[in-house]
Amino acid sequence: MLRKVIGGNRWAILLCLMLFSMLLEAFIAQTVGPTPFAELLALIFGISILLGLVFAVNHPGPVVAGSVAVLLLYGALGVLNVFTRAAWIDNMLLSLSSLVLLGGLVIVFMQLVEPMRSDREKLFSAVFGYFLVAWLWAYLYWRIETYMPGAMNFPDVGAGGGSAYLYYSLVTLTTLGYGDITPLLPIPRILAALEAALGTLYVAVLIGQIVGQARR
């Protein structure tokens, strides 16, 4: 019974977990500030949600096994990085972040264009995918700033915690562009431009899917 309930609401559950993790990270950043505990908690939530995403999508066994292996490696390196801050770990985390972002984008757009069992499931998966794009991009910005300090400009000293990158990623994806946080180096600049373009494309594809289904 429980498996049936979870299976029928998997995208709604993943969306709720993601939104909860975003709000929790922001609350911790506002009350405690950027700390190793906050970074570790964000990492645990992140890996858990991504593992849930892997098992929520129908993929061949080897693809699932490879995805789980990459995520577990990322989680192990992330935990090690919290306590050691070794340069070689930063290099590996940056590479894995790029790989996870690419894989996440593929899954998101596959879910967006493929048919689903119900309109409700389609809607929840689309909303989850939109926030997932912002969330994964935020991790990539974070890793770039860690690998290349000064790549991002923050208005306040010590404001570069995980919630700050998530905020910047969300306003970039939605093309709000407040300008309080800005990329300074070429790599984060082009990534920000690509994220804004992707956000516009995502909404266009989503609306096209909704209109196409309404005409059937």
Token digits for 107?
């899954």
Q: What is the model's pLDDT at position 197?
A: 93
User: Rounded CA gap, 139 and 49, in Å?
Assistant: 14
Interval 142-169: pLDDT, tens:
888 888 888 988 876 545 567 889 999 9
Q: Does position 40 have pLDDT exceeding 60, yes or no?
A: yes
- Residue with the bigger pLDDT between 130 and 111: it is 130
Q: Which residue's structure tokens are 């490879």?
A: 66
Structural domains counted in the chain: 1
Q: Does position 210 have pLDDT exceeding 70, yes or no?
A: no
Question: Which residues form the domain of 164?
Answer: 2-215
Q: Which residue's structure tokens are 């049936």?
A: 4
> 200 Cβ partners below 8 Å, 6+ apart?
175
Choice among 45-59, 72-86, 177-191 with the minimum mean pLDDT: 45-59
Choice among 49-53, 107-111, 150-154, 171-175 with the minimum mean pLDDT: 107-111
Average pLDDT over residues 29-38: 78
pTM of the model: 0.86
Contact 82, 38 (CB under 8 A): no
Q: Does position 9 have pLDDT exceeding 50, yes or no?
A: yes
Q: What is the mean pLDDT of the chain?
A: 82
Q: What is the model's pLDDT at position 2?
A: 47
Cα separations in angstroms, 77 against 47, 70, 74, 103:
12, 11, 5, 19
Contact 70, 96 (CB under 8 A): yes
Interval 82-122: pLDDT, tens:
888 788 888 888 888 888 888 888 887 777 777 655 677 77
Across the chain, the runs of DSSP E, i.e. the strands, are: 152-153, 182-183
Question: In Å, how far from its chain's centre is CA 19?
Answer: 11
For residue 195, the domain's CATH number is: 1.10.287.70
